[in-house]
Amino acid sequence: MRMNEGVEWALHSCLNLTWAEPGEAVTAARLAAFYGLPTAYMNKQLQALTRAGILSSISGPRGGFRLARRPEDITLLDVVTAIEGAEEAFRCEGILKEGPNGSADVDYRTTCLISQAMRKGDLAWRREIAAQTIADLKAAVERAYPHTPSSTRDRFANLRP
């Protein structure tokens, strides 16, 4: 049950984009070089974020990615869902169908008590990370590491990808 590596990349990239020059689009190559990551695969993650409406993309020279919404309106759950998909972690495949008194017509995701119990956990997880936004993270980082905004901008400016 490991989460995709791309989730970490996506979260860091969204955060980094909050510190980019206003109106500036940052290319996938720069966002990847920021952490020494493979460009093409980073591009893949950014595409997923774009499809989810979290980033907007611009083609051609001077192109790249920028945040499509305000950081206050992007929750961590949004980012995770964009990369991982929306389905819950626990899979109720409805094995009760084959058990005693089982029926193929019943939706065991709603009637099976095990499924319900696991869903409680899933919902608690979702609630927790949906309560935190990129803006919250940005503020917390700037409080703990005040130099981060400027050093991020510097790195974007000086990186030669």
* Contact flag: residue 86 with a second copy (CB under 8 A): no
* Contact flag: residue 67 with DNA (CB under 7 A): no
* Contact flag: residue 1 with DNA (CB under 7 A): yes
Contact of 77 with 126, CB cutoff 8 Å: yes
Specify the residue, 43 or 148, whose C-beta has the smaller distance to DNA. Answer: 43
Nearest to 108 by CA among 122, 92, 120: 92
Contact pattern from residue 98 through residue 127 relative to a second copy, giving x for each residue in contact according to CB under 8 A and a dash for the rest: xxxx-----------xx--xx-xxx-xxxx
Interatomic CA distance for residues 134 and 76, integer angstroms: 7
User: Which residue bears the tokens 């000086």?
Assistant: 158
Nearest to 137 by CA among 36, 152, 145: 145
Specify the residue, 58 or 91, whose C-beta has the smaller distance to a second copy. Answer: 91
- What residue 106 binds from a second copy, DNA, none (CB within 5 to 8 A, per partner kind)? none
Which residues have C-beta within 8 Å of that of residue 103, sequence separation ≥ 6?
97
- What residue 129 binds from a second copy, DNA, none (CB within 5 to 8 A, per partner kind)? a second copy
Which residues have C-beta within 8 Å of that of residue 6, sequence separation ≥ 6?
41, 44, 45, 48, 83
Total residues found in the chain within this entry: 161
| CA angle, 45 then 51 then 52, to 5° | 90
In the complex, the smallest distance separating the C-beta of residue 42 from a second copy, rounded to whole angstroms, is 11
* Contact flag: residue 36 with a second copy (CB under 8 A): yes
Nearest to 71 by CA among 107, 117, 109, 20: 20
In the complex, the smallest distance separating the C-beta of residue 59 from a second copy, rounded to whole angstroms, is 27
Interface residues with a second copy (CB under 8 A) are 1-5, 7-9, 11-12, 15, 34-37, 76, 84, 87, 89-93, 95-96, 98-101, 113-114, 117-118, 120-122, 124-129, 132, 136-137, 140-141, 144, 147, 151-152, 154-155
